[in-house]
Amino acid sequence: MPAPRLRVGHGFDAHRLIEGRPFVIGGVRIPHPTGPLGHSDADALAHAISDALLGACALGDLGAHFPDTDPQWKDADSLRLLAACHELAVRHGWTIANIDATVVVQAPKLSPYLSAMRDALADTLGLEVERISVKAKTSEGLGYTGDGSGIAAYAVVLVEALGNAEG
């Protein structure tokens, strides 16, 4: 039986929000008194998309490729990590068909920045912006995303085989 030409991957990431950290999401810096804590810039959206892409291609996860124990990734731009994951997927014969992602955070309100996030992701991945969906939700005050102590992101990536796909 021939290998499937389409595959889907799911990604998730979450970070604690603390004072004094820049708030970067989808490659966009948003003015806010708190920001995500992490080894890199802690861009939960870029991390979730990276994991979804790697998962769709059966290439492991973000931590396997960019471990938080490696000092070279300290405060790294997560769009750079996403670009590297994309290059790896292409080398293994896969191309991104589309991305659908959701960011969950109580504050700041992300709706004014969604277009800029889509543009930054499209530019990083060399895709048309129409192939990338980013949505923002609150959790109505529930849990770590609702009480202001954290942010979470979920992503689904559909990849298509280029003809020489491995995995």
Flag whether 1 is in a domain: no
Residue 167: predicted pLDDT: 57
Flag whether 99 is in a domain: yes
Are the C-beta atoms of residues 155 and 62 closer than 8 Å to each other? no
- Rounded to whole angstroms, the Cα distance separating 126 from 121 reads 8
Flag whether 131 is in a domain: yes
Which regions of the chain are under pLDDT 50? none
Q: Which residues contact 55 (CB under 8 A, 6 or more apart)?
A: 9, 10, 11, 61, 157
Token pair 């889907």: residue: 8
Flag whether 105 is in a domain: yes
Kindly report the CATH number assigned to the domain that includes residue 95: 3.30.1330.50
In tens, the pLDDT along 17-59 reads 999 999 999 999 999 999 999 999 999 999 999 999 999 999 9
Flag whether 94 is in a domain: yes
| Domain total in the chain | 1
Domain limits for position 144 = 6-161
Are the C-beta atoms of residues 157 and 99 closer than 8 Å to each other? yes
Residue 71: predicted pLDDT: 82
State the pTM of this model: 0.95
Flag whether 48 is in a domain: yes
